[in-house]
């Protein structure tokens, strides 16, 4: 177990410091436990575990990846009640994992990671936290993900607004929306889930759309009790169903990212719009003018019907100004509102900017990433030994479950941590040439892909228009590449005496 140096020093020493308790951080902790490694600490800024599935509690919050695939392969859940699990059930699943694999005792709650500095003399990371407690570890694993820092739009005059303002990821459940006039800014993955829910309650909903998303119907329904029973009794059946689903989702890659099949998908979505949206003006406004897949494709069967409600007003003229009790659009129209809800997403390509991470020779991560964030396999950055990112650059997905990517990374990182924790390896630093070759390869694949060439602007791209978030291919290819850590990719320093 980790050692506290002294009560006053507020300093802990351990082999591995993990940051975050979402699928990534929790998964890493479980993998270490399974490998018989007990000397690690998990830092969690909140009072409970669960990451994004703890934070996002907005009405209607649910996964848009089928539940069967949205779980660890080693801990499949036969009890999912729906094809697409809702937030509470996923959060419960993570709690269950923490209990079953006994990782709770390793978690330090209320500890906010602020940065880390590599000490080359001792080959350790000195991890700093908001309350001043220091953690010293031989290795550092970031499980912070990219979708956790809410992005607030800069709306002129919003500081003078007298009503309620909150972000979808920080939902104010104490504010009763019943009978209120509400402005929702944004029509992304989160908004299309909560809009149908709140539309039923509010007096008036002004929905401010900047760019319409491509939406397909969500084939969600309850999982019959008999099927859940079968999964419980014969786990092999669930494994087979999951495998079939995995390959179906992989096939989505063709359907969306192949130009011809993409056109067919667009045609089907447009047909869905014609069927689901009654008003021709609204229909035109929600029809995207860019290629499907350029932004995340969304699934919903209740979003378009919500736009048909008489109390919902789709506004496309853009927010010009916020006044004390209203939002004014570019065309000068004033929309009186009691609350503004931001469904404006997260800081993604700049998610690490607020952290001070200093590697070898005093080099800052921000400097290493000055021209855009990149890592080898999304996991390791040259000059930052023994630091591993989970769901790091270019490992996000548009067509399958990120939990699959996380698990591939967990196995890869574990093979590095084994050597470090067992005292064989002191330092592992990915070779710059290996990292460069890898990134040239993926950027050349991404170059003319739909995310860059599809005619839209999305959070997949950084400020220079380079895709720093998406894995450009099938997930099984990523799995193949991360199945075994090749020591030749790293400069490895053996531990003394080895
Ligand atoms: P998002 O997809 O980034 O959507 C943000 C929305 O806000 C977009 O419609 C965007 O318009 C709009 N917006 C941003 N800044 C604006 C501004 N200044 N003025 C007006 N509109 C503005 O964010 P999100 O809906 O929170 O979802 C983020 C990600 O979280 C998703 O893509 C997904 O990966 C994840 N998520 C997943 C699930 C799931 O089921 N697995 C559910 C929810 C969220 P533009 O399109 O014009 O930029």
Could you tell me the CATH number of the domain that includes residue 482?
3.50.50.60
Cα–Cα dist 395/377, whole Å: 8
Distances (CA, A) of 385 to 46, 139, 151, 406: 28, 8, 31, 20
Evaluate whether residue 233 is within a structural domain. Answer: no
Going by C-alpha positions, the residue among 247, 273, 316 that lies closest to residue 479 is 247
Instruction: Check residue 498 and give its pLDDT.
Output: 62
Q: Check whether residue 317 and residue 365 sit in a common domain.
A: no
pLDDT value, residue 447: 83
Cβ–ligand 1 contact at 459 (below 6 Å) = yes
Domain with 423, as residue range(s), is: 3-149+347-494
Query: Of all protein residues, whose CA lies closest to atom 24 belonging to ligand 1?
Result: 345
CA distance readout (Å), 133 to 18, 29, 129, 365: 15, 21, 6, 22
- Average pLDDT across each block of 10 residues of the chain; the chain has 498 residues. List them in order: 57 97 98 97 97 96 96 97 98 98 97 96 97 96 89 94 97 98 98 98 98 97 98 97 96 76 90 98 97 93 98 96 96 97 89 90 95 96 98 93 97 97 95 98 90 88 91 95 97 84
Task: Report the pLDDT value the prediction gives residue 450, as an integer from 0 to 100.
Answer: 87
* Most informative mutation of 152, 344, 399 for ligand 1 (most atoms within 8 A of CB): 344
375 and 419 co-located in one domain: yes
Give the residue from 22, 76, 450 showing the smallest Cα distance to 246.
76
Q: How many domains does the chain have?
A: 2
Asked, for residue 145, whether it belongs to a domain, the answer is: yes
Residue 229 lies in a domain: no
Is any atom of ligand 1 closer than 6 Å to the C-beta of 185? Answer: yes
Q: If you search the block for the tokens 């800024």, which residue do you land on?
A: 45
Last residue of a domain, one of 341, 367, 390: 341
Cβ 341 under 6 angstroms from ligand 1 = no
Unique residue bearing structure tokens 């080693």:
74
Question: What's the pLDDT score for residue 154?
Answer: 92
Cα distance between residue 18 and residue 51, in whole Å: 13
Per the document, the length of the chain is 498
| Pocket lining: 63 vs ligand 1, CB cutoff 6 Å | yes
CB 29 within 8 A of CB 51: no
Q: What angle do CA 425, 428, 430 make, to 5 degrees?
A: 160
Residue 226 lies in a domain: no
Pocket test for ligand 1, best of 85, 148, 188 (most atoms within 8 A of CB): 188
Q: Is 386 in the pocket of ligand 1 (CB under 6 A)?
A: no
Q: Is 142 in the same domain as 73?
A: yes
- Token look-up 């008489």 returns 310
Given 309, 341, 373, the domain boundary residue is 341
Q: How far is the CA of 373 from the centre of ligand 1 (A)?
A: 21
Distance (Å) from CA 191 to ligand 1 centroid? 7
Single out the residue of 354, 375, 364 nearest to residue 468, CA to CA: 375
**Both 140 and 96 in a single domain?**
yes
Reported as type and span, the H/E element at residue 444 is: helix 432-446
- Say if residue 307 is in the same domain as residue 180: yes
* 187 Cα nearest atom in ligand 1: 9
pLDDT given for residue 1 in this prediction: 52
Instruction: Indicate whether residue 288 lines ligand 1 (CB < 6 A).
Output: no
227 found inside a domain = no
User: Which run of H or of E encompasses 113?
Assistant: strand 113-119
Tokens 């021209």 belong to residue: 371
Of residues 344, 418, 426, the one with CA closest to residue 386: 426
The verdict on the CB of residue 187 being under 6 Å from ligand 1 is: yes
Q: Measure 189 CA to ligand 1 centroid, in angstroms.
A: 5
162 within some domain: yes
Confirm whether 441 is domain-assigned.
yes
Judgement on whether residues 279 and 335 belong to the same structural domain of the protein: yes
pLDDT value of residue 148: 82
What's the pLDDT score for residue 114? 96
pLDDT computed for residue 352 by the predictor: 82
Indicate whether residue 340 lines ligand 1 (CB < 6 A). Answer: no
DSSP string, 217-253: -----BPPHHHHHHHHH-HHHHHHHHHHHHHHHHHHH
Q: How far apart are CA 379 and CA 360, in angstroms?
A: 17
Residues β-bridged to residue 492: 428
In this predicted structure, what is the pLDDT of residue 10? 86
Q: 58: closest CA among 166, 216, 160?
A: 166
What are the beta bridge partners of residue 395? none
Token representation of residue 440: 């040239």
Q: Based on the domain organization, do 165 and 312 belong to the same domain?
A: yes
Q: Whose CA is nearest to atom 19 of ligand 1?
A: 153
Does the CB atom of residue 344 touch ligand 1 within 6 A? yes
CA distances from 168 to 307, 324, 452 (A): 19, 21, 27
Element (H, E) at 272: helix 259-276
Which among 298, 340, 103 has a CA at the least distance from the CA of 207?
A: 340
Q: 32: helix, coil or strand?
A: helix
Residues 416 and 481 in one domain: yes
Q: State whether 292 and 201 are in the same domain.
A: yes
pLDDT, residue 497, reads: 66
Q: Last residue of a domain, which of 300, 315, 341? A: 341
How much is the pLDDT for 16?
A: 98
Distance CA 423, CA 385 (A): 15
Pocket test for ligand 1, best of 150, 153, 183, 189 (most atoms within 8 A of CB): 189
Q: What is the distance in A from the centroid of ligand 1 to the CA of 345?
A: 4
Same domain membership, residue 487 and residue 373? yes
Q: Is 292 within the bounds of a domain? A: yes
Query: Do residues 472 and 361 both lie within one domain?
Result: yes
Examine the domain organization and report whether 329 and 182 are in the same domain: yes
Cα(342) to centroid of ligand 1, in Å? 9
379 contacts: CB under 8 Å, gap ≥ 6:
388, 389, 390, 392, 395, 409, 412, 413, 482
């Amino acid at each position: 177990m980790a050692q506290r140096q002294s009560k006053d020093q507020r300093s802990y020493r351990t082999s591995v410091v993990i940051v975050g308790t979402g699928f990534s951080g929790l998964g890493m902790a479980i993998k270490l436990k399974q490998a018989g490694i007990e000397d690690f600490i998990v830092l969690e800024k909140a009072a409970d575990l669960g990451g994004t599935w703890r934070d996002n509690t907005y009405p209607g919050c649910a996964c848009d990846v089928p539940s069967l695939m949205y779980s660890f392969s080693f801990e499949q859940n036969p009890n999912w009640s729906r094809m697409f699990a809702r937030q509470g059930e996923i959060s419960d699943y993570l709690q269950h994992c923490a209990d079953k694999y006994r990782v709770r005792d390793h978690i330090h709650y209320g500890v906010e990671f602020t940065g880390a500095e590599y000490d080359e003399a001792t080959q350790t990371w000195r991890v700093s936290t908001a309350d001043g407690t220091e953690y010293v570890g031989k290795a550092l694993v970031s499980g912070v993900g990219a979708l956790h820092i809410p992005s607030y739009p800069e709306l002129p005059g919003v500081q003078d607004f007298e009503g309620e303002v909150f972000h979808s990821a920080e939902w104010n459940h104490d504010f009763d929306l019943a009978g209120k006039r509400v402005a929702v800014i944004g029509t992304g993955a989160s908004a299309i889930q909560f809009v149908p829910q709140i539309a039923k309650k509010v007096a008036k909903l002004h929905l401010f759309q900047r760019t319409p998303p491509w939406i397909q119907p969500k084939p969600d329904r309850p999982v019959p009790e008999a099927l859940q029973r079968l999964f419980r009794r014969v786990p092999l059946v669930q494994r087979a169903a999951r495998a079939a689903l995995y390959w179906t989702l992989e096939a989505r890659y063709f359907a969306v990212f192949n130009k011809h099949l993409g056109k067919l998908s667009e045609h089907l979505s447009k047909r869905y719009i014609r069927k689901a949206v009654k008003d021709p003006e609204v229909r035109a406004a929600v029809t995207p003018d860019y290629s499907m897949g350029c932004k995340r494709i969304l699934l919903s069967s209740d979003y378009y019907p919500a736009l048909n409600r008489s109390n919902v007003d789709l506004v496309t003229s853009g927010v010009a100004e916020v006044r004390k009790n209203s939002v004014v659009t570019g065309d000068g129209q004033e929309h009186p509102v009691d609350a503004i809800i931001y469904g404006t997403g997260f800081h993604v390509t700049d998610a690490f900017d607020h952290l001070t991470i200093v590697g070898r020779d005093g080099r800052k991560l921000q400097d290493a990433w000055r021209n855009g964030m990149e890592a080898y396999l999304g996991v390791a950055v040259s000059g930052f030994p023994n630091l591993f990112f989970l769901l790091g650059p270019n490992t996000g997905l548009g067509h399958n479950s990120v939990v699959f990517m996380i698990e591939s990374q967990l196995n890869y990182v574990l093979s590095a941590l084994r050597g470090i924790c067992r005292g064989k390896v002191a330092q592992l630093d990915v070779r710059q040439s290996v990292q460069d070759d890898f990134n040239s390869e993926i950027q050349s694949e991404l170059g003319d892909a739909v995310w860059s060439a599809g005619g839209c602007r999305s959070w997949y791209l950084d400020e220079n228009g380079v895709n720093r978030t998406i894995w450009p291919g099938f997930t099984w290819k990523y799995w193949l590449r991360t199945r075994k850590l090749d020591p030749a990719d790293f400069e490895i320093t053996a531990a003394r005496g080895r």
